[in-house]
Amino acid sequence: MKIVILRNNLKNALDAVSHTLGDASNLPILKNILIKAVGGKIQICSTDLETAVVRGVAGKIIDEGSVTVPFSVFNSVIGNIQNERIDLDSKKMGVLIKTDNYEAVIQGMNPEDFPIIPKVDKKDEFFEINGEILRESLNQVVGAAQISELRPEISGILFDVEPGMIKFAATDSFRLAEKTVYETEFKNNFERGMKFIVPLKPIQEFLRIMDGKTPVRIYAVNGQLMIENGDLELISRLIEGQFPDYNPIIPKNLTTEISLDKNELIGALKLASAFTSKNNEVRLKITKDSKVVEVYSSDSLLGENKYLIPAKISGEPVEVVFNWRFLLDGLRNLESDSANIGLQGDIRPSVIKTTADASFFYIIMPIKS
């Protein structure tokens, strides 16, 4: 292999593959990246055996071939080179890096030993979506997911592709976030509806490295996911199992409804958090005919505090306790400055949404106190 490549192009590609390296104690080659110059294309690849990232790079191929070298030393060298133009040349099992006044030889391994990155073959089954809309949608739900050894089926994001809409949903069983995207914003190439669960890590990784300006194609075939986004391919297994049916817990009979300034409540929760070191418990209190919500927290050793927020309130007086972190997550994901909180007393699920955007809601369980 012999290629010429511009430093910044190579740096960007290295950044893209930097988080999907594997654990070297299992298999040393997983700390390596594969640099391929094959079929007229240059690609940099990394895999942790569960998720793989393949990133194309513009450059000039003089001789085709491939090499695999440790990511850390290669990245450190490329990151410190000042010259624009970098020559890469395979050298026994490694690579020779050359610029005008610098040269380095990095020892590598046999590229034939690099793990095979799975192919997703049935290229006719995909949906395509605007990159920015996908990014915003995933960002609105991803915080509600949590990796659970006991419940792998909630350790990811549900992609529920139906005729005319896609729903993205995530839950950790204490809260649930759902975002709907309608057909005007994507193209569906599935003939029927389809549901699949994408693990949390590749979603977070995709959000880190994706290009929002370029459309995204998502394939899900035989337990494998492939995301195509311009120069980037991300391949991952899907999670087996059934995402819980959350329709029964969506609040339908609200007993108290509150409308208030989202940022004021966020500020009050941050203040309240200073007095909740043990349990994260914050109490919202609404008295009869009140025009304010009281946000209260206390700690027997530290002290106590209360914040009064002006609000439009209808329905019954209530005192309800939440984990302030979960409440904050829900509020932050609203795409407007006003928040609507719907309660069903102090035990049953509550809902956070905004009248400005019907495509998103967030359900949160109160804490029994």
Task: Give me the residues that bind a second copy (CB under 8 A), please.
Answer: 70, 73, 76-77, 80-82, 94, 97, 101-107, 267-268, 270-271, 273-275, 301-309
DSSP letter string, 158-184: EEEEETTEEEEEEE-SSEEEEEEEEGG
Smallest distance from a second copy to CB 83, Å:
10
* Nearer to a second copy among residue 306 and residue 332 (C-beta): 306
* Nearer to a second copy among residue 228 and residue 264 (C-beta): 264
Smallest distance from a second copy to CB 254, Å:
26
Cα 189 vs. chain centroid, distance in angstroms?
A: 23
Contacts 24+ apart (CB under 8 A), 105-112: 106/69, 106/70, 106/73, 106/74, 106/77, 107/69, 108/32, 108/67, 108/68, 108/69, 108/70, 109/28, 109/29, 109/32, 109/68, 109/69, 110/68, 111/34, 111/36, 111/66, 111/67, 111/68
Nearest to 221 by CA among 126, 154, 156: 126
* Nearer to a second copy among residue 304 and residue 337 (C-beta): 304
Smallest distance from a second copy to CB 284, Å:
15
Smallest distance from a second copy to CB 305, Å:
3
Token look-up 């005919």 returns 289
Smallest distance from a second copy to CB 266, Å:
10
Nearest to 51 by CA among 233, 209, 240: 233
Cα 314 vs. chain centroid, distance in angstroms?
A: 36
The bridge status of strand 51-57 relative to strand 232-237 is antiparallel
Smallest distance from a second copy to CB 97, Å:
8
Smallest distance from a second copy to CB 31, Å:
12
* Nearer to a second copy among residue 78 and residue 318 (C-beta): 78
* Nearer to a second copy among residue 102 and residue 182 (C-beta): 102
Q: By the 8 A CB rule, do 66 and 32 touch?
A: no
* Nearer to a second copy among residue 302 and residue 347 (C-beta): 302
- Going by the DSSP 8-state scheme, the letter that residue 317 receives in this structure is -
Smallest distance from a second copy to CB 74, Å:
8
* Nearer to a second copy among residue 90 and residue 188 (C-beta): 90
* Nearer to a second copy among residue 307 and residue 362 (C-beta): 307
Provide CB contacts within 8 A for 111, sequence distance 6+: 34, 36, 66, 67, 68
